[in-house]
Amino acid sequence: MKTRITPEYLEERLRENNLPFECFNRGMHYRINNKCDFWPSTSRYSFLHGKCSGHGLEEMINLLLTGQTVVEEPQNRNVVSAKNFNEKPYKLNEKKSFSEIVHTDFDELEKEDLKRIIVYLSKKLMEAEQAIAKLAPF
């Protein structure tokens, strides 16, 4: 089981590794070594210069100790995530129009297309319920 990152635990780990830090917002936000911001509640870190960010206290400490502030990330997180879950990657820039989705065989629809249909129908249902409520208030 992972250890919950409390301000006390965080400060102890930083002192063990001789990393100076400042505490903001009563322990909700830390600036470490004037290089990195860290939020214990989410274990998210973000380096001030560069685009390096991520999650995990130990990972952040290792990056600070080794002087690495650039973490190579995959070009497209959607593709990597889809591979991890054995799904087809959803292409954000190639959304089908709603009429294309409606005229597609149900078995050929992708997960994102089904989500769009559900959202659309939910909105229409809510509009219909509001119209009925105006006509016949109970």
Cβ within 8 Å of residue 62, ≥6 positions away: none
The model's pLDDT over 13-60, given as tens digits with 9 standing for 90+, comes to 999 999 999 988 888 899 998 888 999 888 888 888 766 788 888 888
Measured CA distances, 120 to 53, 75, 97, 110 (Å): 35, 31, 12, 16
Residue 16, pLDDT score: 93
Please report, rounded to a whole number, the percentage of residues in the chain having pLDDT higher than 90: 7
Residue 93, pLDDT score: 44
Most confident of 49-53, 59-63, 86-90: 59-63
Confidence band for 87, pLDDT divided at 50, 70 and 90: low
Q: Mean pLDDT across the chain, nearest whole number?
A: 76
Report the C-alpha gap between 43 and 5 in whole angstroms: 7
Show me where the domains of the chain are located: 7-66, 91-135
